Amino acid sequence: MSEKEIKVTFEGNLKVKAEYRGLAILTDQPAYAGGDGSAPAPFDLFLASIATCAGYYVLAFCKQRNLPVEGIYLTMSMEKGQASRMIEKVRIDIHLPATFPERYREAVVRAADQCPVKAHILKPPVFEIRTVED
């Protein structure tokens, strides 16, 4: 398996495992959808990847400037369209303590905005799905 491949296997009931760069990522479906609810659903991981990516850029911004990260956290909320039932708006709030320097407040927003997960949503790749015989 190459560095650019993710191998997906089935682990029982509705559990699906992805192996990438020596790490295993397990997903499951919630009990109401027939799964065991033992791991996040794939879509939950997708959403979490957006939030944690923004969080990483906030963390890196603070570390580069020797700013303490205690008391800083992010929340992400989504709004679905009534007709489409698709997420139409994502809001990420960066919660900063009162002691966070005023001069960095706009810059930390710009840092979070650099998240490549978000960039890939805004300019999505082409998907090619095919079968391959082993």
Rounded-to-integer distance, Cα 58 and Cα 62, Å: 6
Q: Which two tokens stand for residue 72?
A: 């800083």
Contacts of 104-108 with CB under 8 Å at 24 or more apart are 104/61, 104/65, 104/67, 107/61, 108/58, 108/61, 108/62
Residues 5 and 58 in one domain: no
Q: How confident is the model at residue 2 (pLDDT cuts 50, 70, 90)?
A: confident
| Count: domains in the chain | 2
Say if 127 falls within a structural domain.
Answer: no
Residues 51 and 27 in one domain: no
CATH number of the domain to which 61 belongs: 3.30.300.20
What is the domain extent for residue 113?
A: 41-122
Residues 68 and 31 in one domain: no
Residues 68 and 14 in one domain: no
Residues 68 and 33 in one domain: no
Whether the full predicted model's pTM is greater than 0.85, yes or no, is yes
Residues 87 and 107 in one domain: yes
The DSSP secondary structure of 10-49, one letter per residue, reads: E-STT-EEEEETTEEEEE---GGGTS---S--HHHHHHHH
Return the percentage of the chain with pLDDT > 70, whole number.
99
Residue range 55-84, pLDDT digits in tens: 999 999 999 999 999 999 999 999 999 999
Residues 90 and 26 in one domain: no
| Per-residue buried b or exposed e for 27-57, using 16+ beta carbons within 10 Å of the residue's own CB | bbbeeeeebeebbbbeeeeeeeebbbbbbbb
